Amino acid sequence: MLGGMAKAKGHGMLEELLRKIGDRTARVGVVGLGYVGIPLAMRISEMGLPVLGFDILPERIRQLTAGESPIRHIAPKAIAAMNARGFQATGDYSRAAECDALLICVPTPLDKHREPDLRFVTATMESLAPHLRAGQLLSLESTTWPGTTAEVLAPYFTAAGLTPGVDAFLVYSPEREDPGNPDFDTSRIPKVVGGDDPASQAAGVALYSAFIDTVVPVSSSRAAEMVKLLENIYRAVNIGLVNELKIVAQRMGLDIFEVIGAAATKPFGFKAFYPGPGIGGHCIPVDPFYLTWKAREYGIHTRFIELAGEVNASMPDYVVGKALQALNARGKVMSGARLLCLGIAYKPDVDDVRESPSVLVMERLRDWGAVLDYSDSHVPVFPVMREHSFDLASVALTAEVVAGYDAVLILTDHSDVDYAMLREHAALIIDARGRYSSNPAGNIVPA
């Protein structure tokens, strides 16, 4: 009898949530207003649902409230338009009770032992827990190991007297943002959704279908969590492969970018990945370690994944080694050499330096005694980072400035750089991005 009553109650709450989603009255809370949360909030707002944004950073809340964009590739006018539609940013987590759905988009980095660090997730849940209520949907979007939603988040519902699938709903839906990519915005990237009971799955699919063009249901939250890891491990492994092949090709006197370009003409069975000074960003350098850590619980050693990680982690040292050799060949030593690092964001045309291999290269060069500057129009001042510190600001990239350095290292190839000017005026260029692959010159050393 009690089971039947609980089922009826849960069905009624699901129907009420689905009704609110359908008539666009469901208020959605986006928790974590960064590279994932802001585009997500913008899209939800565009589709007519009321949105409330949560963040722990007062400056981030101030910027958004004032119509300013804290992210370079998002225009201030887009923030202002979202505000005009009723968006509010707040640090008051008690307002979570106003929300019918809560989407968690907070960082999940690695700790100093390269193991998963869920402190941001658990701190968020501690802040939300007193304000969880019946009828709410909670979705975790942060990258994590399979089992996190069920093992870490579900107990917060239990402690609040709620049962997922009965009087509340819980899903995992991994973020798939690609900052700065003009070809894929939030609405057009298919969204994977996994819940561990039919009601949660139905609620999650309905919510995301309200603002995402294509929703892909999977059988459980664990399956959805594994999807996210697979996507980025696939990229990490293939980048590791081409990074290793780059070293082989250079030793053989071959241009790896020419080889990849020719291979990419094959219309089946091949996808082009490109080498660089390492891997960066909030996902690819981190995600493989989430799976290798969890796999150990099952007695499995993920040798293939870890080998790719070792190759990618070795690339900053490889670039520095090439710089050492190139300077030495010109009668210079690294200690005291004036070097300009070009691009410190983790990929072209964004302002995100998280896990950037450029920063690792800079640290290695500093350890060798080099005198460093950097130029990056997207990052005007070197940001405060947890593990890295440089008291530097971006220098202007002019012919006179470039000519004053012993070498320029192309670490991130932003599209707004005058590479012809650079080639003409730099004494030496260490090219870790293959920018001059099709147009070499005597002062360019591939790295």
Enzyme catalytic residues: 283
Q: Which amino acid is at 314?
A: S
Strand, coil or helix: 129? helix
Put residue 146 in one of left, alpha, beta given phi > 0 → left and psi -120 to 50 → alpha.
beta
CA distance 31 to 69: 17
CA distance 327 to 438: 23
CA distance 159 to 124: 15
Q: Which amino acid is at 430?
A: I
Compute how many other C-beta atoms are within 10 angstroms of the C-beta atom of residue 50.
19
Q: For residue 139, what are the β-bridge partners? A: 103, 171
Are the beta carbons of 85 and 45 closer than 8 angstroms? yes
Taking Cα atoms as reference points, which of 443, 430, 288 lies closest to residue 362? 430
CA distance 288 to 303: 11
Q: For residue 218, what are the β-bridge partners? A: 194
